[in-house]
């Protein structure tokens, strides 16, 4: 059986029109990319790598080179899924020429299909400029982690009528600027559904209810590897932290007891 054709940016809108939910997972390396590639529509190389793998408290000190390194690894491991990459804090907010240069560098050096950036109407000109030079852009509204201090922490956004109205207008502005998709994070389900209906581009929800056109989770959270992280929106599809600990415990016991390696693992 022939391998399915790689997805393209235009497929995202087609999936929305067909009413087929878009499946997205974060990914940071080639090994997991190979395992996920046949099951998902998009692999998102999130700046959450700074927290999940590097042990930092926030995404704010993720670097462009860090994102390129992980994005290139993911792209090498995938053949079918779209690969999008987060632009780190202050790599796209300072000037539009700098945003074009940094986003272009990400695509050139990683082979990814597009970039994701945070912010609403105030980022519309930047989105438009990136799209005009051929760089696909996915927006990100609601809880925007790069603004976590300004927002007062990781909390649901858009619960009040005024802020809900702003989010809807921000979403429309990003679509008009040429964004090809939009992540909605920690947004009330009704608001996220209304935004999704108002747009022709797909919405990808995380903590935004079932009315979005697709869903994304952080892979390590979904697999149960990130112990102690239990937000309401997260469903764990595995408990791999327990599996890893049990495997490490069994390995340690066999090494200390002289049972590994055995004759079957040794060379004459």
**What's the pLDDT tens digit per position in 149-191?**
999 999 999 999 999 999 999 999 999 999 999 999 999 999 9
**Across 39-47, average pLDDT:** 98
What residue spans define the domains of the chain?
9-237, 239-268
Q: Which residues contact 218 (CB under 8 A, 6 or more apart)?
A: 25, 26, 46, 48, 52, 226
- Alpha-carbon gap, residue 251 to 265, rounded angstroms: 14
Which of 88-100 are b and which e, b meaning 16 or more Cβ less than 10 Å from the residue's Cβ?
bbebbbeeeeebb
SS3 158: coil
- Just list the catalytic residues: 185
- Residue whose entry in the numeric block shows the structure tokens 């462009």: 64
**Across 203-226, average pLDDT:** 98
**Across 11-22, average pLDDT:** 97
Q: What number of other Cβ atoms are within 10 A of residue 249's Cβ?
A: 10
Question: What percent of the chain is modeled with pLDDT above 70?
Answer: 99
Work out the mean pLDDT of the chain and round it to a whole number: 97
Bridge partners (DSSP) of residue 114 are: 84
Does pLDDT of 1 surpass 50? no
Please count the CA atoms within 13 angstroms of the CA of 246 that sit on its side-chain side: 6
Whose CA is closest to 67, among 81, 53, 82? 53
Question: What percent of the chain is modeled with pLDDT above 90?
Answer: 97
pLDDT level of residue 4 (50, 70, 90 thresholds): confident
CATH class of 9-237: alpha beta
Alpha helices for the chain (secondary structure H): 9-17, 30-36, 49-52, 64-77, 96-110, 124-132, 148-151, 161-177, 189-198, 219-222, 240-256
Q: Do residues 13 and 213 make contact, with C-beta atoms less than 8 angstroms apart?
A: no
Q: What is the pLDDT of residue 2?
A: 56
Does pLDDT of 215 surpass 60? yes
Q: What is the pLDDT of residue 261?
A: 97
């Amino acid at each position: 059986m022939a391998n399915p054709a790689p997805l393209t940016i235009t497929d995202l809108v087609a999936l929305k029109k067909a009413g087929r939910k878009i499946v997205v997972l974060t990914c940071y390396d080639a090994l997991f990319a190979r395992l996920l590639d046949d099951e998902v529509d998009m692999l998102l190389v999130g700046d959450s790598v700074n927290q999940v793998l590097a042990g930092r408290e926030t995404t704010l000190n993720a670097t462009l080179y860090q994102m390129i390194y992980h994005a290139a690894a993911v792209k090498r491991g995938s053949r079918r899924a779209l690969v999008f990459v987060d632009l780190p804090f202050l790599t796209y907010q300072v000037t539009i020429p700098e945003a074009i240069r940094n986003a272009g560098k990400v695509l050139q050096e990683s082979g990814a299909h597009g970039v994701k950036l945070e912010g609403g109407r105030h980022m519309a000109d930047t989105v438009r400029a990136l799209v005009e030079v051929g760089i696909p852009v996915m927006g990100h509204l609601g809880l925007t982690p790069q603004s976590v201090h300004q927002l007062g922490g990781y909390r649901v956004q858009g619960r009040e009528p005024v802020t809900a109205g702003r989010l809807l207008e921000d979403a429309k502005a990003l679509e008009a600027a040429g964004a090809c998709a939009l992540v909605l994070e920690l947004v009330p389900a009704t608001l996220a559904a209304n935004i999704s209906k108002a747009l022709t581009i797909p919405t990808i929800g995380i903590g935004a209810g079932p009315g979005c056109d697709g869903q994304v989770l952080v892979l390590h959270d979904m697999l149960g590897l990130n112990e102690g992280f239990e937000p309401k929106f997260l469903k764990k599809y595995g408990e791999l932290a327990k599996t890893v600990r049990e495997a490490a415990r069994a390995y340690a016991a066999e090494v200390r007891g002289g049972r590994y390696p055995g004759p079957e693992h040794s060379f004459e």
